[in-house]
């Protein structure tokens, strides 16, 4: 039984879709009210939202490892904020956390369309995702497996995921993707209501997902500066297969650098926030996963 749901926005202060959806729902709480559970909304990184920046000192959405949450020596703005949020929505890893499900709203400058990023293995989370895929056939699911320890906001609760939509520049609202994100959240709340009421939900037996394989960094010089950009033929090609020798980067001198490796799918192609993280895109394998009934 899901009793408490949190919808969080502005975990990254320059991703306005989540910020303004939360503001909308704080003014009109009826829109997210369902009978069988309670839903709260939260604007996350208040200072970064004010400054329309991703974060102040460190990425809040990488600040929720159990180690960091219990480390009193960490005292950056986001490290302290993560501990406050963990008390409000968690605590993470405890038997009775305050939230049963967290949906964290993000946008990306990459052409990711309407996506879910999930790192949760809980069957209820996956049934929710299957329901959303049924209701929104263009929805894509990326299973993130790049961390040893889960550090995302949604890892505080037993269930949850992030919604990522794009392409949206940082600090910008786009009505089409705002509406799609909003609709996806309503579908999620409807699913939880049906699940709580033990309604018979017709779900697919399996869903198609993109499983994280690896990160691809930019070509760099000895000082670490990038010396090439994403090739024009790869730009906007999210959820698209890349094969041996396909153009990958274009050097500043105009030389094409080809891809070498297994045939995989490119995601988060040229995401602005990842320049500093040291990757130009992620590679994923398309597969079908069956659902635990
Ligand atoms: Zn984000």
Assign residue 274 the CATH number of its domain: 2.20.25.160
Residue 128 alpha carbon to ligand 1 centre in Å = 21
When pLDDT is averaged across residues 245-250 and rounded to a whole number, the result is 98
- How far is it, in rounded angstroms, from Cα 123 to Cα 195? 12
pLDDT digit string (tens) for 17-34?
A: 999 999 999 999 999 999
pLDDT digit string (tens) for 101-132?
A: 999 999 999 999 999 999 998 999 999 999 99
Cis ω for the linkage preceding 167 (within 30 of 0)? yes
- How far is it, in rounded angstroms, from Cα 284 to Cα 44? 29
Residue 30 alpha carbon to ligand 1 centre in Å = 26
Domain closes at, from 204, 228, 262: 204
192 and 244, same domain (yes or no): no
Other CB atoms within 10 A of residue 135 CB: 15
- How far is it, in rounded angstroms, from Cα 251 to Cα 85? 43
User: What is the pLDDT at residue 256?
Assistant: 98
DSSP-derived pairing of the beta strands 38-43 and 4-9: parallel
- How far is it, in rounded angstroms, from Cα 142 to Cα 79? 26
pLDDT digit string (tens) for 139-149?
A: 999 999 877 78
CATH number, domain containing residue 82: 3.40.630.10
Q: And the tokens for 41? A: 């909304």
Is the Cβ–Cβ distance between 107 and 166 less than 8 Å? yes
130 and 31, same domain (yes or no): yes
When pLDDT is averaged across residues 257-282 and rounded to a whole number, the result is 96
Residue 18 alpha carbon to ligand 1 centre in Å = 9
- How far is it, in rounded angstroms, from Cα 162 to Cα 119? 9
Q: Which of 139, 106, 144, 109 is nearest to 236 (CA)?
A: 109
104 and 224, same domain (yes or no): no
Instruction: Work out how many domains the chain is built from and give that number.
Output: 2
Residue 48 alpha carbon to ligand 1 centre in Å = 12
User: What is the pLDDT at residue 146?
Assistant: 77
- How far is it, in rounded angstroms, from Cα 136 to Cα 183? 9
Domain closes at, from 174, 204, 234: 204
Residue 173 sits at φ, ψ, to 5 deg, of -105, 135
Residue 176 alpha carbon to ligand 1 centre in Å = 18
Q: Which of 232, 220, 221 is nearest to 256 (CA)?
A: 232
The DSSP H or E segment spanning 213 is strand 206-216
155 and 283, same domain (yes or no): no
pLDDT digit string (tens) for 44-72?
A: 999 999 999 999 999 999 999 999 999 99
191 and 220, same domain (yes or no): no
Q: Supply the angle between the helices 123-135 and 175-196 in degrees, to the nearest 10.
A: 130
pLDDT at 293 over 80: no
192 and 226, same domain (yes or no): no
Domain of residue 222 covers 209-290
Residue 10 alpha carbon to ligand 1 centre in Å = 8
Residue 231 alpha carbon to ligand 1 centre in Å = 24
SS3 of 66, please? Answer: helix
Residue 216 alpha carbon to ligand 1 centre in Å = 19
129 and 262, same domain (yes or no): no
Residue 252 alpha carbon to ligand 1 centre in Å = 28
Classify residue 113 as left (phi > 0), alpha (psi -120 to 50) or beta. Answer: left
Residue 107 alpha carbon to ligand 1 centre in Å = 6
257 and 170, same domain (yes or no): no
Cis ω for the linkage preceding 75 (within 30 of 0)? no
Residue 83 alpha carbon to ligand 1 centre in Å = 19
When pLDDT is averaged across residues 208-217 and rounded to a whole number, the result is 97
Domain closes at, from 150, 173, 204: 204
192 and 250, same domain (yes or no): no
Q: 161 has which bridge partners?
A: 103
Residue 272 alpha carbon to ligand 1 centre in Å = 11
Q: How confident is the model at residue 92 (pLDDT cuts 50, 70, 90)?
A: very high
Q: How confident is the model at residue 292 (pLDDT cuts 50, 70, 90)?
A: low
User: What is the pLDDT at residue 274?
Assistant: 94
160 and 47, same domain (yes or no): yes
Residue 244 alpha carbon to ligand 1 centre in Å = 31
What share of the chain has pLDDT > 70, as a percent?
A: 99
User: What is the pLDDT at residue 268?
Assistant: 98
119 and 15, same domain (yes or no): yes
Residue 197 alpha carbon to ligand 1 centre in Å = 33
Residue 254 alpha carbon to ligand 1 centre in Å = 31
pLDDT at 167 over 60: yes
Residue 259 alpha carbon to ligand 1 centre in Å = 27
What share of the chain has pLDDT > 90, as a percent?
A: 97
pLDDT at 214 over 90: yes
Residue 170 alpha carbon to ligand 1 centre in Å = 10
Residue 15 alpha carbon to ligand 1 centre in Å = 6
SS3 of 202, please? Answer: coil
pLDDT digit string (tens) for 275-286?
A: 999 999 999 999
96-110, 140-154, 227-241: range with lowest mean pLDDT: 140-154
Residue 163 alpha carbon to ligand 1 centre in Å = 9
Residue 283 alpha carbon to ligand 1 centre in Å = 18
165 and 231, same domain (yes or no): no
């Amino acid at each position: 039984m899901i009793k408490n749901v949190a919808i969080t926005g502005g975990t990254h202060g320059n991703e306005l879709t989540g910020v303004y959806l939360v503001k909308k729902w704080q003014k009109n709480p009826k829109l997210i009210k369902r009978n069988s559970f309670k839903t709260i909304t939260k604007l996350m990184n208040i200072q970064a939202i004010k400054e329309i920046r991703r974060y102040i000192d460190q990425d809040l959405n990488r600040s929720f490892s159990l180690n960091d949450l219990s480390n009193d020596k960490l005292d950056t703005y986001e490290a302290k904020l993560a501990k406050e949020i963990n008390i409000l929505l968690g605590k993470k890893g405890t038997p009775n956390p305050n939230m049963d499900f967290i949906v964290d709203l993000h946008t990306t400058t990459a052409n990711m369309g309407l996506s879910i990023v999930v790192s949760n293995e809980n069957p209820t989370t996956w049934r929710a995702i299957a329901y959303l895929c049924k209701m929104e056939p263009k929805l894509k699911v990326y299973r993130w497996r790049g961390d040893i320890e889960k550090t995302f906001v949604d890892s505080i609760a037993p269930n949850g995921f992030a919604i990522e939509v794009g392409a949206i520049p940082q600090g910008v609202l786009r009505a089409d993707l705002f509406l799609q994100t909003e609709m996806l959240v309503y579908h999620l709340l409807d699913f939880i209501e049906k699940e709580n009421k033990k309604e018979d939900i017709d779900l697919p037996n399996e869903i198609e997902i993109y499983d994280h394989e690896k990160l691809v960094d930019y070509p760099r010089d000895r000082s670490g500066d990038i010396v090439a950009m994403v090739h024009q033929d790869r730009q906007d090609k999210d959820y698209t297969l890349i094969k041996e020798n396909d153009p990958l980067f274009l050097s500043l001198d105009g030389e094409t650098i080809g891809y070498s490796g297994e045939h995989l799918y490119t995601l988060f192609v040229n995401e602005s926030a990842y320049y500093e993280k040291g990757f130009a895109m992620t590679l994923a394998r398309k597969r079908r996963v069956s659902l635990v009934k």
